Amino acid sequence: MSFFKRLFRSEPDPKEALRPLWHRTVVLARDPEWFTTRNAQDTLEGRFDVLCAVLSMILLRMERADTLKAPSVHLTELFVEDIDGQLREAGLGDPTLGKKMGQVMSVLGGRLGAYREALSGGGETLETVVARNVDLGDEATGATDFAKGLQALHARLAETSDEAILRGNI
């Protein structure tokens, strides 16, 4: 789409319909339980790890329904916009921002694949994936506790209707 068509388009941006779901994703990732009961580190890296884990659970749920596949792309775009904005606020400029965003998307994609495989039972356990990908405070029991939280979220999402997911009613 050309610049002028985007600038003067009359139809709404399809991402905007997913903004409530994105906000709900962030709220779920900021739940203090992840950092107290589930042992994620309350650091910038730990918060990013939790956000990626929660977003992965939601994206995995969305990929199971044909009607949610296109909206899952828009949800991912909102993630990119949010992270891009935060990195800019932190002082990253255009020369390094593209490379950093590439790394962020690579991390999300890798974790999404690892969580998908673990939840399907086709490889490593969820605890192993968590131990490798989440900054945990308690290395001994942290992965198990965090994995239990992800499994609970995964189960809750499985019982949530497609329409409720789109509205962010999780």
pLDDT in 10s for each residue of the chain, 170 residues: 566 666 666 677 888 899 999 999 999 999 999 999 999 999 989 999 999 999 999 999 999 999 999 999 999 999 989 888 887 787 767 777 777 778 888 999 999 999 999 999 888 999 999 999 998 887 767 799 999 999 999 999 999 999 999 999 99
Q: Against a cut of 0.95, is the pTM above it?
A: no
- Phi first, then psi, for residue 136 (nearest 5°) are -105, 145
Cβ-based burial of 58 (10 A; exposed 0-12, middle 13-18, buried ≥19): buried
Integer Cα distance of 108 and 70 in angstroms: 18
